[in-house]
Structure 1
């Protein structure tokens, strides 16, 4: 934990059973973790052989080699090396990358969401870890889709029913799926052995951001699945439509829902979509391994709209001395786009 030690990230190259510490040859390492991505990407430049310096050694890094990053024995990254440039640039992704590439065929008929994900994992050749999803029934066929695409479809159905956002990551060799955290953390950084740890939000670099209606939805239509074009229900906010114009989404039912479930889905989808997105970026802030996409981070008061509890939607870790980060955050309690009550018909 950041309160207990000064960061000392070590880079371990794994070739079969041989593990080599290559930290001294690694420069400018960055790990990018985005909430809407299935895997974390890590890049760095490895020093190649230098005729002028006999102590600089090239470790024979190749695509397919495994890479681990540990901090005082705690693993913060585990993945596979994808590309190695002639200039020594290296790109690696965690094991979630495989779920974005292989294509599978999956047919589900009235399967509970957790079972649907486990069956998908079996088809994709990856273990299923903790799958914390509601027993929402899934009936759908995917032909030639990646596990990432299938998982997005399943989670969208679950989210429309529960109003929750779900995070998926491959950890310890297994796919882990569950709701985003609801309890904020205070992240700490310890800059030196003779200094105490402090709340990282006490010191921030430049803050920028935007308020956007680009993803706003103020009308949701429910349609029957299959070949039918029948409209089964609609939810809309007249005040929002009057202010921002009609921005409508169409949701298809699987056919397993009753009227109450359809009404709940309409209400949830409209409440989720009818909001102005308020995104803020912090260009420079002290690093803490505990900060990853999806967590809630408690910010100290400031005048730039990055105050109180914020959801981290993206983080770039720059492992060095010192360990620094760039953050993208959103207000998890952003207000509805316009006043007035919702109209729901089923």
Structure 2
């Protein structure tokens, strides 16, 4: 943890049972973790001058090798090397990458969401870890879809029912799925052995951002699936439509939901979509390993418009001395786009 030690990230190259510390050959390492992505990407440049200097060692890094990054024994990254450039540029991704590439066939009939995800994992050849989802019933067929696409569909249905956003990551060799954290953390950084740790939000670099209506939805229609075009219900916000224009989404369901379930889904989908996206980026902030996409980070009071509890939607770790980060955050309590008098018909 950042309160106990000065960061010392070590890069371990794994070739079968042989593990080699290649940290001294690594420069400019960056790990990019985006909430919308299933996999974390790690890039760095490894010294590769062996073609010009016979005394310069090259570790023989090649695609398919495994890579681990540890900090005082604690693993912060584990993945596979995908590309190696002639200039030593290396790109690796964690094991979630496999779920974005391999295609499978999956047929579900009235399966509970947790069971649906476990069956998907079995088809994809990956272990299922903790799957914290509601028992929402899933009936759908996917042919030639990636596990990532299937998981997105399942989580969208669960989110429409519960109003929660779910995070999925491959950790310790298994897929972990669950709601986003609801308890904020205070992240600390210890810059040197003779200095105490401090709250990283005490010192920030430049802050930028934008407010956008590009993803706004102020009307939602529920339609029956299959060949039927039956409309099951609609929810809309008249005040938002008057201000921003009609921005409607159509959600296709199986059609066997009762009236209460359909009303709840409409209400949840409209509440999720009828908001102005307010995104802020913070560059050059002190690094802390516990800062991952999806967490709630407590910011100290400041005059930069990034204050209080913020949801981290993206983080880039720049490992080294010092360990620095760039963050993208948004307010988890952003208000409705306009008004709040929703009309719902089912």
What TM-score do you get using the length of structure 2 for normalisation?
0.99
CA deviation map 1:63-104 (0-9, x unaligned): 000000000000000000000000000000000000000000
* Change over 3 Å in CA distance of 1:123–1:177 after alignment to 2: same
* Change over 3 Å in CA distance of 1:211–1:4 after alignment to 2: same
> 2: distance between equivalents of 1:114 and 1:107?
15
Residue 232 of structure 2 contacts residue 255 of structure 2 at CA under 8 Å; is this kept in 1?
Answer: no
> 2: distance between equivalents of 1:84 and 1:340?
53
Residue 100 of structure 1 contacts residue 147 of structure 1 at CA under 8 Å; is this kept in 2?
Answer: yes
CA deviation map 1:273-315 (0-9, x unaligned): 0000100000110000000000000001112220000000000
Report the counterpart of residue 114 of structure 2 in structure 1: 114
Q: What is the SS of the residue equivalent to 1:55?
A: coil
> 2: distance between equivalents of 1:9 and 1:231?
55
> 2: distance between equivalents of 1:32 and 1:55?
33
Unaligned stretches of 5+ in structure 1?
none
> 1: distance between equivalents of 2:27 and 2:208?
28
Q: What is the SS of the residue equivalent to 1:313?
A: strand
> 2: distance between equivalents of 1:233 and 1:150?
25
> 1: distance between equivalents of 2:344 and 2:169?
35
CA deviation map 1:143-172 (0-9, x unaligned): 000000000000000000000000000000
C-alpha displacement of 1:178: 0.1
More moved, 53-62 vs 306-315 = 53-62
> 1: distance between equivalents of 2:289 and 2:162?
30
Q: How does 1:192-341 map to 2 (within 5 A)?
A: 192-341=192-341
CA deviation map 1:94-144 (0-9, x unaligned): 000000000000000000000000000000000000000000000000000
> 2: distance between equivalents of 1:267 and 1:55?
67
C-alpha displacement of 1:256: 3.4
* Change over 3 Å in CA distance of 1:340–1:332 after alignment to 2: closer
More moved, 110-119 vs 45-54 = 45-54
What TM-score do you get using the length of structure 1 for normalisation?
0.99
CA deviation map 1:241-295 (0-9, x unaligned): 0000000000011233211111000000000000001000001100000000000
Report the counterpart of residue 185 of structure 1 in structure 2: 185
Report the counterpart of residue 145 of structure 2 in structure 1: 145
* Change over 3 Å in CA distance of 1:16–1:150 after alignment to 2: same
Residue 43 of structure 2 contacts residue 90 of structure 2 at CA under 8 Å; is this kept in 1?
Answer: yes
* Change over 3 Å in CA distance of 1:43–1:339 after alignment to 2: same
CA deviation map 1:172-226 (0-9, x unaligned): 0000000000000000000000000000000000000000000000000000000
Residue 25 of structure 1 contacts residue 56 of structure 1 at CA under 8 Å; is this kept in 2?
Answer: no
Unaligned stretches of 5+ in structure 2?
none
> 1: distance between equivalents of 2:53 and 2:333?
55
Q: What is the SS of the residue equivalent to 2:122?
A: helix
> 1: distance between equivalents of 2:328 and 2:40?
15
Q: What is the SS of the residue equivalent to 1:240?
A: helix
Residue 110 of structure 1 contacts residue 256 of structure 1 at CA under 8 Å; is this kept in 2?
Answer: no
Q: What is the SS of the residue equivalent to 1:325?
A: strand
> 2: distance between equivalents of 1:255 and 1:40?
37
> 2: distance between equivalents of 1:339 and 1:319?
45
> 2: distance between equivalents of 1:55 and 1:242?
71
Q: What is the SS of the residue equivalent to 2:249?
A: strand
* Change over 3 Å in CA distance of 1:59–1:149 after alignment to 2: same
CA-based RMSD of the aligned residues comes to 1.0
Residue 223 of structure 2 contacts residue 255 of structure 2 at CA under 8 Å; is this kept in 1?
Answer: no
